[in-house]
Chain A
Amino acid sequence: MSPALVADRLTKRYRRTVALDRCSFAIPERTIVALVGPNGAGKSTLLGCATGLVRPTEGTVSVLGAPVGDRALPRVGFVAQDAPLYRNFTADELLTMGAKLNGDEFDGAFGRARLEEVGIPLDRRVDRLSGGQHAQVALCLALAKRPELLLLDEPLASLDPLARREFLSALMDAAAERPMTVILSSHLVADLERVCDQLMVLRSGQVKVLGATDDLQATHKLLVGPPQRRRPRIAGVGQIVSASKAERQIQLLVRTSGDIVDPAWDQFDVSLEDIVLGYLAADRPIELLDLEEADA
């Protein structure tokens, strides 16, 4: 499968801040990606670069096999944070506008049918709709474009739990209806755990981890063992992601490179949320433990 989105040393600097710092990654097509990171991690900038709304300082992005730009744009759908819409337009008028701005591939009939299915009045002005309905209209406009890549920036942030469920249900319906790659950003992974099959963690403008959720859960373990004076070397551990210390024991979140059979360490399975928190926790986990680097 060819990737839906490829970034190569993608960098975006604003005056004093680095929003994206040499990000290189490839997102497989037909996956649903949870793009997770704290506020200010660079999530919106990353999505902006993928749409062409943000111009990279250095590096490149390509989507669906073409550089970001006019050729790729008709195949990309994007809903910005807070789902901005013309507030005095009705959903019906927005779909008409979408058709006029986008051309033949925009499927207004599909959009109207979808909105009727989720019970949204086509003739009501957008500013008279509830938050959940507003989000559904924005999603529907993006889907009516029949995109192959759909980018959603914090789509759930302003929604109550029921509206979240309804929004994700509509999105899953669309993803099952025809092949599509979806990237959703959020600062909470719990919201997306059921719907994503890829996880990407962004922190301080850098990609900390990207992979299939099944693989990530299979290769990450929590190890609990005795206090250490030096950086522990444990067979089967590829990377120590994060560490925390109590008086009598230390806990390590590790990425495994094989089976761990060391009897000194108890091992436990971790949730996707544990993995996210681990990668967000620290740049240099071992230094936090005041351990000496082992001699090479």
Chain B
Amino acid sequence: MIGFHVSASSAVPTYMQLVEQVRRALRLGRLEPGDRLPTVREVAAAVTINPNTVLKAYRELEHEGLVEGRPGQGTFVVRSLSGPSPQTLDKLRTSLESWVDQARAAGLEPVHIRAVVDGTIGSLLDAEESA
């Protein structure tokens, strides 16, 4: 179970702060599929916020397909967001940077670079999906 907190001085709406805390816990592996989120009542009392705000946050998470409300049981995590390790990401980013440098050296404008990247990713992933 995770604990929520809310910053009054933040420009981020309260319900969004809750949504982001769940997303972050999912990315860090602190929440995993099958885990139950605290009830609306528990969050409202613990954080001292309007229960409707908590409901709104949970509905948003449900809409994103991250959690699922089960009547009479609570709200459960159904999808994980934990991705590759930071080292792996670093490595991938470095190789992409050297490719972007090559593209610039070849005289491509940012728009063209993006088009090439999008096009390549699109066709590769499409092929993968249809395979």
Contact = CB atoms under 8 A, between A and B. Distances in A.
Contacts of B51: 172, 175-176
Interface residues of B, number: 19
Contact of B48 (A177, A195, A214, A269): A195
Contacts of B47: 194
Contacts of A269: 11
A227 B14 CA distance: 36
A107 interface: no
Contact of A195 (B40, B41, B50): B50
Contact of A173 (B11, B14, B45, B53): B45
Interface string B38-66: 01110011111111111000000000000
A165 interface: yes
Contact of B40 (A32, A165, A168, A176): A176
A194 B14 contact: yes
Contact of A165 (B14, B41, B44, B48): B48
B48 A169 contact: yes
Given A176-B51, A214-B13, A193 B8 contact: yes
Contacts of B54: 176
Interface in A185-210: 190, 193-197
B81 interface: no
A95 B54 CA distance: 31
Interface in A147-174: 165, 168-170, 172-173
Nearest to B6: A194
Contacts of A177: 41
Interface in B57-97: none
A175 B8 contact: no
Pick from B41, B46, B48, B53 the residue with the most CB of A within 10 Å.
Answer: B48
Given A172-B45, A194-B8, A269-B11, 4 more contacts: A172-B48, A172-B50, A173-B41, A173-B45
Contacts, number: 48
Contacts of A31: 52
Pick from B46, B51, B52, B53 the residue with the most CB of A within 10 Å.
Answer: B51
Interface residues of A, number: 20
A277 to B, nearest CB: 16
A269 B12 CA distance: 11
A195 B54 CA distance: 11
A197 B45 contact: no
Contact of A197 (B8, B46, B48, B50): B50
Contacts of B44: 172-173, 175-176
Nearest to B39: A176
Interface string A20-33: 00000000001110
Nearest to A218: B13
B6 A197 contact: no
B18 to A, nearest CB: 12
Contact of A196 (B11, B46, B50): B50
Nearest to A192: B50
B39 to A, nearest CB: 8
Contacts of B11: 269
B97 to A, nearest CB: 35
Given A168-B48, A169-B46, A169-B48, A197 B41 contact: no
B28 to A, nearest CB: 26
A197 B51 CA distance: 10
A55 to B, nearest CB: 33
A93 B52 CA distance: 34
10 contacts: A30-B52, A31-B52, A165-B48, A168-B48, A169-B48, A172-B45, A176-B44, A176-B51, A176-B54, A193-B8
B14 A176 contact: no
Contacts of B8: 190, 193-194
B41 A176 contact: yes
Contact of B50 (A32, A165, A170, A190): A32
